[in-house]
Homo-oligomer: A and B are copies of this chain.
Amino acid sequence: MIDHSADRAVFRQLADLLRDQIKSGELGPGEPLPSELRLAQDYGISRTTVRQAIGQLRTEGLVTVDRPRGTFVRVPEPVEVVPLARGERVSARMPTDAERRKHRLGEGTPVLVVTAPDGTETVHPADRVHLTRP
């Protein structure tokens, strides 16, 4: 499972293992991950290292933490499709703190920024909005 002599850091190896379980469906949306203590004991590593691995998955937007209930596989949000107008441009970035609060964004969720030809910017939560060219 975990190879301490490997080139890849232990916490990245654990993140890879958990990510694979999520992508394969072995850990489905809404399901809890084992507790940090449990993971540490199961894999013979420290809780600090487990937290690094889970931190990685949080920044990737794969899991959410409901403290102190546990850590859960993120459940996909219903997506609204927004059409693009002619000449509009699209970029993406991480939200500011204010935007995070305003849109109730989870960790690891970027925002889509639509810029109109006149320079007006519209910000959309990337987990709830997709854009389309009609």
State the CA gap A84–B86 with chains docked (Å): 11
- At the interface, yes or no: A15 with Cβ under 8 Å from chain B? yes
Query: With A59-B59, A110-B110, A110-B126 known to touch, is A133 a contact of B88 (CB < 8 Å)?
Result: yes
Which B residues are in CB contact (< 8 Å) with A67?
none
Q: Is the beta-carbon distance between A89 and B134 smaller than 8 angstroms?
A: no
Contact-size category for A? 35 or more
Which residues of B are found within 8 Å of A93, using beta-carbon distances?
Answer: 61, 109-110, 126-127
Closest to A126 in B: B92
Across the interface, do A97 and B133 meet the contact criterion of CB distance under 8 Å?
Answer: no
Besides A84-B133, A86-B133, A89-B133, 7 other CB < 8 A contacts? A15-B97, A59-B107, A59-B108, A88-B132, A90-B112, A90-B132, A92-B111
Shortest Cβ gap from A111 to chain B (Å): 8
